[in-house]
């Protein structure tokens, strides 16, 4: 076991163990950090850029989820610049596809919506791009509405890393990137999907939902997946 050491986060001394990420340390110390793509137990990808922090002596902003702790690190999570950038990022996500809460099944049960409140987003200053995306309702239990997808790839990772089915991936690039099932076939035709529903539970928006959810009535239970991951990692 490696000896733990102390780092400073927002002028507060925090204990850290080698190999931990800054995000993990923040979570243990109850220091709030906004995250969209990260999900505890899944491999971090550093894609949403909301958990960017400033580290003294490092010229660029680094994502807390993929940056490992190092002795004598001095981290700042709440500068004016970071707050400004985070707000712009969440606005960019809202501008990208269709995130109109009033007509979404995930209304009031949505991590994206919650994040927008937390970051103080009162309006979106960028033009809405809202491309017309597919809605895949071919699965017997679930629906994938690409119009609500923010490409956090939690579903891709939970499917390969926890369920082991590797049903999902990303296709295309840039603004045209889409989550696909198998080789871009309708979800219902997938022979690899085990219909376990973990992707639905970890999806932070209304992109993946059970097909019987009515507007605003969606119940998701990501904690169940988190618990499952924890149990799998625990040594008997």
Supply 181's token pair.
Answer: 């099932």
Give yes or no for a contact between 110 and 206, defined as CB atoms under 8 angstroms apart: yes
What strands, in cross-sheet order, belong to the sheet with 208-210?
135-136, 142-145, 208-210
Among 57, 127, 183, 236, binds other proteins (CB under 8 A): 127
Among 20, 46, 137, 216, binds other proteins (CB under 8 A): 46
Dist CA 201 CA 29 (whole Å)? 26
Q: 50 vs 229, which CB is nearer to other proteins?
A: 50
What strands, in cross-sheet order, belong to the sheet with 52-55?
12-16, 5-9, 74-76, 52-55, 62-63
Among 3, 19, 132, 174, binds other proteins (CB under 8 A): 174
Q: Is residue 40 a contact point for other proteins (CB under 8 A)? A: no
Cα diameter, the chain: 53
Q: 63 vs 197, which CB is nearer to other proteins?
A: 63
Strand partners, 180: 169
Q: 8 vs 95, which CB is nearer to other proteins?
A: 95
Among 10, 20, 40, 47, binds other proteins (CB under 8 A): 47
Q: Is residue 201 a contact point for other proteins (CB under 8 A)? A: no
**67-106 positions binding other proteins, by CB under 8 A:** 67, 84-85, 88-89, 92-93, 95-96
Dist CA 205 CA 111 (whole Å)? 6
Residues that bind other proteins (CB under 8 A): 45-49, 52, 60-63, 66-67, 84-85, 88-89, 92-93, 95-96, 125-127, 129, 150-151, 169-170, 172-177
């Amino acid at each position: 076991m490696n000896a733990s050491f102390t780092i400073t986060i927002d002028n507060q001394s925090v204990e850290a163990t080698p190999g931990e990420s800054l995000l993990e340390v923040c979570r243990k110390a109850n220091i709030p950090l906004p995250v969209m793509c990260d999900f505890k137990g899944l491999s971090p990808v550093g894609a949403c850029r909301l958990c960017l922090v400033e580290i003294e002596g490092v010229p660029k902003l680094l994502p807390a989820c993929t940056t490992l702790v190092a002795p004598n690190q001095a981290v700042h999570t709440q500068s004016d610049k970071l707050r400004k950038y985070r707000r712009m990022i969440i606005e960019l996500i809202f501008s990208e596809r269709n995130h109109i809460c009033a007509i979404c099944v995930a209304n009031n049960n949505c991590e994206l919506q919650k994040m927008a409140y937390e970051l103080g987003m009162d309006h979106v200053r960028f033009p809405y791009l809202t491309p017309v995306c597919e809605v895949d309702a071919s699965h017997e239990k679930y629906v994938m509405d690409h119009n609500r997808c923010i490409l956090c790839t939690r579903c891709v990772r939970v499917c390969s890393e926890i369920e082991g089915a590797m049903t999902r991936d990303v296709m295309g690039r840039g603004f045209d990137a889409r989550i696909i099932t198998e080789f871009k076939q309708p979800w219902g035709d997938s022979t690899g999907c085990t219909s376990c529903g973990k992707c639905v539970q970890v999806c932070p928006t209304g992109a993946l939902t059970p097909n019987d959810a009515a507007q605003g009535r969606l119940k998701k239970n990501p904690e169940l997946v988190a618990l499952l991951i924890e149990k799998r990692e625990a040594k008997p």
